[in-house]
Amino acid sequence: MPKQLEGKTIVITGASHGLGKTLVQKVAELGAAVVLIARDEQKLSDVKVSIEKIGGQAFVYTCDLRKPEDVRAMAAKLIKEHPIDILINDAGIWTEDELEKSRPELRQAALETNVLGHIELTEALLPYFKSRNAGHIFNVISSSGVSDSPSGDNSSWRTYGATKWAMRGYTNALLTALKETPIKITGFYPGGFDSDIFETAGNADAHGQSWMMKVEDVADAAIFALTRPADVMIETIVVTKK
């Protein structure tokens, strides 16, 4: 019996750690070839080795999404070298008001990574998807971009919340722009889960908190949307801790 993602090629940003790394493992197990994008070449190489150990295919591209010229150059290379079926925009950084008091540069970094980098890569690949009249753009956002979720209160992380609302707006605009095409658009809005995003930002309570979901459970929700039939599109998924 063929695997659910057999023959698919999936591009994943933020693939070196956290949810991105977990998604890489899960889609590879389902038969997909994975294109790994992040800034840390060594970590990406380690992920590539882990995928090859299970008989999968993985390709490494180092890129800083905060540099638009580099993103566009990488996208052009991807189009030449791979038949891309799915783009998962997962890369992101955490910031909050308290951290920004001593590190105000986090505001710009968050906007560039969480929003502009994703838009730049998506827009660079969109003509390719249109030319094929197929594809799936899967934007990992956050429940911080959903007002009717308990974790949608951004009063203590205003910049981070703003980046997620920006991505929600962009995702909704894509849905409208591509509604007459077979190209799928999904906005994925998970609440807090246990990964290294808080640790990287410098939070003391970065792991093992009662409000955190398991990263594997969050990834499974994403996999559900990614493995639907070609004529079924899940536009929005909100995943929160019960």
Check 61, 128, 160, 189 and give the catalytic one: 160
Higher pLDDT, 1 or 142: 142
Percent of the chain residues topping a pLDDT of 70: 90
Residue 233 has pLDDT above 70, yes or no: yes
H-type helices in 96-196, by residue range?
A: 97-102, 105-111, 117-132, 158-177
- CB 141, CB 166: distance < 8 Å: no
Residue 138 has pLDDT above 70, yes or no: yes
- CB 47, CB 61: distance < 8 Å: no
Q: 23: part of which helix (H) or strand (E)? A: helix 18-29
Taken in order 173, 177, 179, 185, is the CA torsion positive or negative? negative
**What average pLDDT is seen over the chain?**
91
| Domains parsed from the chain with CATH numbers | 9-239 (3.40.50.720)
Q: Which two tokens stand for residue 43?
A: 């970590």
- CB 140, CB 222: distance < 8 Å: yes
Q: How, if at all, do strands 193-194 and 86-89 pair? A: unpaired
Whole-number pLDDT of residue 2 = 60
**Which single residue is written with the structure tokens 């190489």?**
45
Rounded distance between C-alpha atoms, residue 57 and residue 229, angstroms:
23
Out of 40-49, 142-151, 188-197, the most confident range is 40-49
Catalytic residue status for 170:
no
Whole-number pLDDT of residue 1 = 52
- CB 207, CB 194: distance < 8 Å: yes
Q: How, if at all, do strands 136-140 and 213-214 pair? A: unpaired
Taken in order 122, 221, 63, 146, is the CA torsion positive or negative? positive
Whole-number pLDDT of residue 20 = 96
pLDDT tens readout for residues 52-106: 999 999 999 999 999 999 999 999 999 999 999 999 999 998 888 988 899 999 9
Q: Which amino acid is at 193?
A: F
pLDDT tens readout for residues 188-212: 998 876 776 665 656 655 555 676 8
φ, ψ (nearest 5 deg) of residue 26 = -70, -40
- CB 239, CB 213: distance < 8 Å: yes
Average of pLDDT values for 145-161?
80
Whole-number pLDDT of residue 96 = 85
Q: Which two tokens stand for residue 31?
A: 């038969």
Q: 35: part of which helix (H) or strand (E)? A: strand 33-38
pLDDT tens readout for residues 167-192: 999 999 999 999 999 999 999 998 87
Average of pLDDT values for 41-45?
97
